[in-house]
């Protein structure tokens, strides 16, 4: 299988604060599959580190109150091209780009709400199955033995 995956989940230090969210359990499950690493925020040209981003009223803002929606939407379209032939994607929960079930609420207070990141919405709209790193059992069912 060909699987798109958030680069931070593979150990790339691309998060806003210069860290990663390497998920060894997930990588073990995906071993043997072709992984296509993506990071919409890196594709958008944000530096590492950069100010946090959150979605508020359907737009993406930085903690400095800059509207970066257009920049992130353009990057999401480029990332979609990169994973167009993937069987599924596994994305980082709570990210303004990649949140699958949850995103931060836009107040920069650490509170999560139900919602999709910009890239996740685009994947769903284009019929690409999307999972978060927390959907381990579903990912196993889709990938083990294929």
pTM assigned to the model: 0.95
pLDDT for res 13: 98
Domain coordinates of the chain in residue numbers?
A: 2-143
The string of pLDDT tens digits covering residues 30-59 is: 999 999 999 999 999 999 999 999 999 999
Band of residue 144 on the pLDDT scale cut at 50, 70, 90: confident
pLDDT > 90 in the chain, percent: 98
pLDDT for res 60: 98
Is residue 146's pLDDT more than 80? no
Band of residue 114 on the pLDDT scale cut at 50, 70, 90: very high
Cis peptide bond upstream of 92, omega within 30: no
- Which helix (DSSP H) or strand (DSSP E) does residue 75 occupy? helix 69-83
| 3-state secondary structure (DSSP) of residue 44 | coil
37 CA to centre of own chain: 10
């Amino acid at each position: 299988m060909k699987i798109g995956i958030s680069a931070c989940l593979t150990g790339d230090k691309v998060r806003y604060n210069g860290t990663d969210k390497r998920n060894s359990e997930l990588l073990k499950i995906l071993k043997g599959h072709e992984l296509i690493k993506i990071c919409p925020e890196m594709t958008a040209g944000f530096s590492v580190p950069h100010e946090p981003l959150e979605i508020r009223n359907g737009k993406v803002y930085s903690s400095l109150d800059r509207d970066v929606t257009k920049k992130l939407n353009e990057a999401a379209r480029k990332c979609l091209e990169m994973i167009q032939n993937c069987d599924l994607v596994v994305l980082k929960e709570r990210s303004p780009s990649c949140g699958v079930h949850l995103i931060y609420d836009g107040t920069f207070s650490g509170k999560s709400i139900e919602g999709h990141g910009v890239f996740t919405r685009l994947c769903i709209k284009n019929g690409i199955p999307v999972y978060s790193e927390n959907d381990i059992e579903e990912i196993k069912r889709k990938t083990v033995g294929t």
